[in-house]
Structure 1
Amino acid sequence: MADQANKQKIVHVHLPKEETFTTTLTAGDHELIADEPKTVKGGEDQGPDPYDYLLMSLGSCTVMTIRMYIKRKEWPLDDVFMELKHSKKHSADCDNCEDPKSKIDVIEKEVIVEGDLTDEQVQKILDISKKCPVHRTLMGNMKIESSITHK
């Protein structure tokens, strides 16, 4: 399992020249579409926008992590789902920013659980929700290495 977790995955993203924003995303045998909403000039709303995918990634990782933990503990969890929101807010963290218009990206995560759980179990589920790998990645020190190939 550790070898599989360390294996680098490749996702392909393609925006054909005849499209304005409608983009094909391929991960293994899975193909998805990303787009901008019609309110954005050229957007066709053919799929979620990139921030939606970010939230879906975080949400799916979180509920999977919770489910694994609950299964191991054999707690009476009937259902788990999430609602997530992304916004840009001026926050106290920006009070010392060079640009007075600077804003911080804020993701609001609400974990919704159903089942005969104690208050202590519910609190532990919230704690576990912050330990999913995607949450840790977003909160950690991240480095994005960019390169370009010209054909």
Structure 2
Amino acid sequence: MAEATTTPSGTNFQVSAKIRQHEVLLDEPEDKGGGDTAPTPAEFVCASLAACTTITLQMYIQHKGWEASVKSVNVVYETVDGVGTFRRTVALAGYTQEQLPRLTAVANSCPIHKMLSKANPIDTEVN
């Protein structure tokens, strides 16, 4: 289970998110009325997918004892005609061509990839 709670910080559109013992800020850019003091919620979603992909690949590579390594993972989210798409680019080093299909499958099996690529109902309670 994952959980986060946000509260307004007192600055226009800036919120503080409490995640376990960690606190992080989220904000909107100035052109949207925010102060551009922190990443946007959508940017945090992209960062979550990139981080999860990186960690999942690192765990798998370490478990296998391969020489491969993750150089970077970039995620961009774009909406075209009302349809959102995540575009993920994984830069690896030291892998063999035989390892590439398995590394791709591992990237696609990270928990955040699974969460985002499936329809997830959202139950909302307002009180």
Task: Give the CA deviation at 1:121.
Answer: 1.1
Matched, 1:127 2:119: no
Matched, 1:54 2:45: yes
- Matched with 1:145 is 123
Task: Give the CA deviation at 1:79.
Answer: 3.4
Distance 2:2 2:118 in 1: 20
* Paired-residue identity, %: 24
Matched, 1:106 2:97: no
Distance 2:60 2:120 in 1: 26
Please give the per-residue CA displacement for 1:81-137, whole angstroms capped at 9, x wherever unaligned.
Answer: 2011111013xxxxxxxxxxxx2001100011122x111212321121010111111
Normalization by structure 1: what TM-score? 0.78
4+ residue runs over 6 A deviation: none
> Which has the greater radius of gyration?
1
| Root mean square deviation, CA, Å | 1.4
Q: Check whether the contact 2:56–2:106 (CA below 8 A) recurs between aligned residues.
A: yes
Task: Give the CA deviation at 1:72.
Answer: 1.2
Normalization by structure 2: what TM-score? 0.92
